[in-house]
Structure 1
Amino acid sequence: MSKFTMQDIKGVIPAMLSFFDQEENVDLSCTERMVDFMIDHGADGFYLTGSTGACFTMNAEERNSVVKTVVQKVNGRVPVIVHVGDIGTKKSIELAKYAYEAGADAISSVPPFYWKFSKEDIYRYYKDIAESTPLPMVVYNIQLAGLMDMDLILRLSDLPQVQGLKYTARSHDEMGYLKEKLGKDFMIYSGCDEMAFSGLCAGADGIIGSFYNLFPDLYKKILKKVQESDIQGGMKLQKIADEVIFSALKYDFPSVLHGMMRWRGLEAGYSRRPFYTYKAEELSALKEEIKKIKEKYQTTELDIFGI
């Protein structure tokens, strides 16, 4: 059973990568190492088997193996949210039930995608999944699956099990309005890595993102700057993170993160096709760009990459 309430799930939450071996099998040993690394460097929780976690390249058994491994390795140190989205409500419900039985603290899902679903279809999808387990549900608003309008989000928030929103959009004025309207007990997570500082300032309870796999420690410092009302300091750290992100996004994502994590001395596994696995020399130009960012800001924050 979960030891955390929805209100305990806050702070810096990596949308965890899934790690594969060279034969593209799920690498559970690597997954365990990454759990410890991220917790040791400031992660306040995990968001599993989402789009960053290449969930749609895995079957249900593989996704469940990641969930079981992470929940056991975390061992109650931080909360775990499991993304259960799939093309098909029945499939998502089965993933949600497994997450509950494995000991997850919350579930989440992108809205149904690929086909053009109506608002009523989307509402029923979330209602059916939310009612399938006792776990709180985090609705996921993201451009990749089609942004929901405010009316639908507010309607979904009336469902008893829907207790959070992962908001991956740049309209932080709307996100702040939703936080104000829905109240302190309805948790909102900003999902744009490059706008984490802005999202936290707008009232987000936490941040969930891909680059927190790479440097959760840097984002923990950004969170601290917000808590201290140090606007100038927070903006500087965000700019450093952003320049690294913009340089990295010239490459295939999220595959590039595996290569960059190796710069931190980590055995960070491989991607699964069609995602590309970079050879070390293919990222040499990126490493040079990051050296220039380090020199530009005269910062020690990027010393973690050994450059």
Structure 2
Amino acid sequence: MAKFDIREIKGVIPAMITPFNQDEELDEKKTRDLVEFLINKKVNGLYIGGSTGEGFLMDIDERKKLTEIVCNQVNGRIPVIVHVGNIGTKMSIDIAKHAHENGADAISSVPPFYWRFDNESIFNYYKDISESTPLPMIVYNVPLAGLMGLDMIYKLAEIENVKGIKYTATNHFEIRLIKAQLGEDFMVYSGSDEMAISGLLHHSDGLIGSFYSMLPDLFIKIYESMENKEIESAKDYQLMAVDIIMTSLKYDYYAAIKLGLSWMGLDVGSVRRPFKALTDAQKEQYKNDLLEIKGKYDFTCDLLEAIN
């Protein structure tokens, strides 16, 4: 059973990477260790099985197993949002029902992709999934799957269990428009890591992003600084985060995130092909780039503190 109401799901929520072993198989111990690491860093929730979690490279049984492991390890301490998205509605419903049965607090999904589905098909996709469980649905508006306009977002919000949106577009003034149109209880999560401050300034309820797996402490500082109206501090932390993100984006950044975690003492394995692990030369260059960033600031973060 869900432990948290959707209105309680706020703050810094990592879109969690998925640990695999050297044979590219889901690694239960590494996954449990990562969950504990993030909870100990005081994150406010977990978003699992999405694109950052390499969910579309996993089969249905693997995605279900990931949900079981994470929900069991979390054990109600923080909210868990399970990404159930797939091209096919039937498969997404299967994952959604399983998430509900295993104690997830919310589900989320990208719109159906690859084929150019029209708005009616997209609406029915979300309606069918949302009606399959009592869990709140968080719609995922992301460029990779095709951004939806405000009219479509407002239409989806008419579905009873659609209670929020993960908003990864960069025109953040629309966050305020969504809140004004749909009310404060419709949750909006800013999904652009590089623009966390902007999302919060435009009244997002929280942050869901890839780099929070590797930089939880830095984004918690951003969030808390914004909560305390310490804008200059938040700006400084955001600038460091952007520097680290842009350096990581030179590579398959899921691999860079996993490498960064390994430098922090957490073995989360590598990525699944066709994503590429960093070569030894790339690892050295990445480390040197991060050391250069470290030298720019009079404060640090756990990742930069861990490398030398």
Tell me if both proteins adopt one fold, taking TM over 0.5 as the criterion: yes
Kindly state the Cα deviation for residue 280 of structure 1 after the two structures are TM-superposed: 4.8
1:304 partner letter: E
2:206 is aligned to 206
1:61-87 deviation per Cα after TM superposition (whole angstroms, max 9, x unaligned): 000000000000000000000000011
Alignment-derived partner of residue 304 in structure 1: 305
Give the deviation of 1:300 after TM superposition: 2.5
- What pairs with 1:60-79 in structure 2 (closer than 5 Å)? 60-79=60-79
Partner of 1:4: 4
CA distance in 1, matches of 2:91, 2:44: 29
Look up the match of 1:114: 114
Q: Counterparts of 1:279 and 1:41 in 2: how far apart (Å)?
A: 29
Q: Distance in 2 between matches of 1:150 and 1:39?
A: 34
1:167 aligns with 2:145: no
Other-structure match for 1:217: 217
Q: Is the deviation greater in 212-221 or in 289-298?
A: 289-298
What residue ranges of structure 1 are gaps of 5+ in the alignment? Answer: none
1:91 equivalent in structure 2: 91
Q: Could you tell me which residue of structure 2 aligns to residue 247 of structure 1?
A: 247
1:277 Cα shift?
Answer: 2.0
Range that drifts further, 233-242 or 283-292: 283-292
Cα displacement (A) at 1:293: 1.1
| Partner Cα separation in structure 1 for residue 18 and residue 3 of structure 2 | 25
Q: Following the alignment from structure 1 to structure 2, what is the Cα–Cα distance between the partners of residues 254 and 209?
A: 12
Letter in 1 for 2:34: M
Mapped to 2, the partners of 1:278 and 1:230 lie a distance apart of 37
Matched residue SS, 1:47 = strand
Distance 1:14 1:173 in 2: 23
CA contact 1:24–1:272 (8 Å) conserved in 2: yes
In the alignment, the residues of structure 1 paired with residue 188 and residue 75 of structure 2 have an alpha-carbon distance, to the nearest angstrom, of: 25
Superposed CA offset, 1:190-247 (max 9, x none)? 0001111110111000000000000111111100110111111101100000000000
Alignment map for 1:123-134 (pairs within 5 Å):
123-134=123-134
Give, in whole Å, the separation in 2 of the partners of 1:262 and 1:170: 31
Provide, for residues 104-154 of structure 1, a one-character-per-residue CA deviation record: whole Å limited to 9, x for no partner: 000000001000110111000000000000100000000000000100100
* Cα deviation 1:163-216 (Å, max 9, x = unaligned): 010000110001121122221111100000111111011100000000000011
Q: Counterpart in 2 of 1:154?
A: 154
Flag the 1:251–1:272 CA change in 2: closer, same or farther, 3 A: same
What's 1:140 paired with? 140
Q: Distance in 2 between matches of 1:103 and 1:281?
A: 43
CA contact (8 A) 1:259 1:280 kept: no
Cα distance in structure 1, aligned partners of 2:185 and 2:126: 19
Q: Partners of 2:249 and 2:270 in 1: how far apart?
A: 18
Matched, 1:293 2:293: yes
Q: RMSD of aligned C-alpha atoms? A: 1.0
SS of residue paired to 2:296: helix
